[in-house]
Amino acid sequence: MCPHQGNVDDMIDDEGKSIMLIYDTSKHAFRLNINGYLSYFLTFNLNLYLFLVLKYSCFDACVI
């Protein structure tokens, strides 16, 4: 389980690396759309998103 779920800011560390990704399409995508981060999320993290889904095959995945 990830320590911080559903927070876009927690997905990026100080060096700009993507360190966390949540597989929750309905809630997470809706929240990102409200905050205006949907385009950023899809372009920057889509590949990592798909990779984690395929690798871990679970609804909560994170890379620390």
> Which residue type does 48 have?
L
Q: What is the mean pLDDT of the chain?
A: 47
- Model pTM score: 0.17
Q: Are 10 and 31 in contact (CB under 8 A)?
A: no
Q: How far apart are CA 23 and CA 6, in angstroms?
A: 9
Q: Domain residues of the chain, as ranges? A: 8-62
Q: Is the pLDDT of residue 57 over 50?
A: no
For residue range 18-34, list pLDDT tens digits in order. 444 444 444 444 344 44
According to DSSP, the residues that pair with 60 across neighbouring strands are: 22
For residue range 2-19, list pLDDT tens digits in order. 444 444 444 444 444 444
